[in-house]
A = this chain, B = another copy of it.
Amino acid sequence: MAVYTEVSDDDLKALASAYDFGEIVSCKGIAEGVENSNYMLQTTKGPYILTLYEKRVNPDELPFFLGLMEHLARAGVQCPVPLKGRDGNALRTLCGRPAAIVSFLTGIWPRRITIDHCAGLGPALAGLHAAGRSFNMTRANNLSLAGWRDLFSRTGAAAENIERGLSVLISDELTALGKAWPNGASDLPAGVIHADLFPDNVFFLDGKCSGLIDFYFACNDFLAYDIAICLNAWCFEPGGDFNITKANRLLAGYETVRPLTPAEKNSLPLLARGAAMRFFLTRLYDWVNTPPGAMVRPKDPREYLHKLNFHRGVSGIAAYGLS
């Protein structure tokens, strides 16, 4: 849940005059995205989404994110398309913040993940990876190894408060990941990844994937790392069990668009450990740094500790349902 900034009717009037979508007849803050303020705009030409970028987004990186969405949409990926104003710019300033309007996507994100959702996610993710190949801007993943170490160093004794002995375990795991993690010279296919493709960023309609949203963590990294993030976010049951059927459908669906290389299959358990570490650490950081009166409730990091432990016990791709 977001909506941090109050947009006045005067601001909206000024905004409307910069675009060709007629008049804004309604603007309601929506509970979507946690990093930015999002509004559902109804205009005389139809619905749009207005986003105000809050503190956590680096304004210098917005041209990458907006350019990526435009590129992907042009390549056929169902994602929000930044709307250009009369001046030709998609990015502008509103209420003292960077702001953009994007197209409205139909669909509803799934609250209860089924096998069919995983089957629909796979091809959509592979389609994003394929379309991203021809995008010519790049952004480093600041939430990879170095970022994890930095986050861990800034959480202090927090891990210890969650579980005794946990800080040593995390420290050891970071060392192990650091030794094994593939580097730029690896033969793993790399490119633009979404890097945050959780269920609330994937819309479905009539059982089919109808769109992907929230590209504000997108960056360049190993494509299979994006798959690893999805294995964590989509294939564990609420009780904690790993659902191998969901993983199989996700991976098999992915391969209908882009077959995985042998190196990717071999690396998946390691990448999944890293992906679990990444979300464990950001959640741990938020857990420690969210003041008690904040409007956003931090998520329990232990969910990702459990996932990390699962992948530590995985020796090969068979555990994810592929042969």
State the A residues within 8 Å of B (CB).
1, 3, 6-10, 12, 23-32, 40, 42, 47, 104-112, 204-206, 292-295, 297
Contact = CB atoms under 8 A, between A and B. Distances in A.
- Which are the 8 A-B pairs with shortest beta-carbon distances? A29-B31, A8-B111, A25-B106, A28-B30, A3-B31, A9-B108, A292-B292, A292-B293
A108 B29 CA distance: 11
Contact of A297 (B40, B47, B104, B295): B295
Contact of A107 (B7, B25, B105): B25
A298 to B, nearest CB: 10
B27 A30 contact: no
B26 A32 contact: no
Nearest to A207: B9
Nearest to A3: B31
A26 B108 contact: yes
Given A30-B40, A42-B104, 11 more contacts: A1-B1, A9-B111, A9-B204, A25-B106, A26-B105, A26-B106, A26-B107, A29-B31, A29-B32, A295-B295, A295-B297
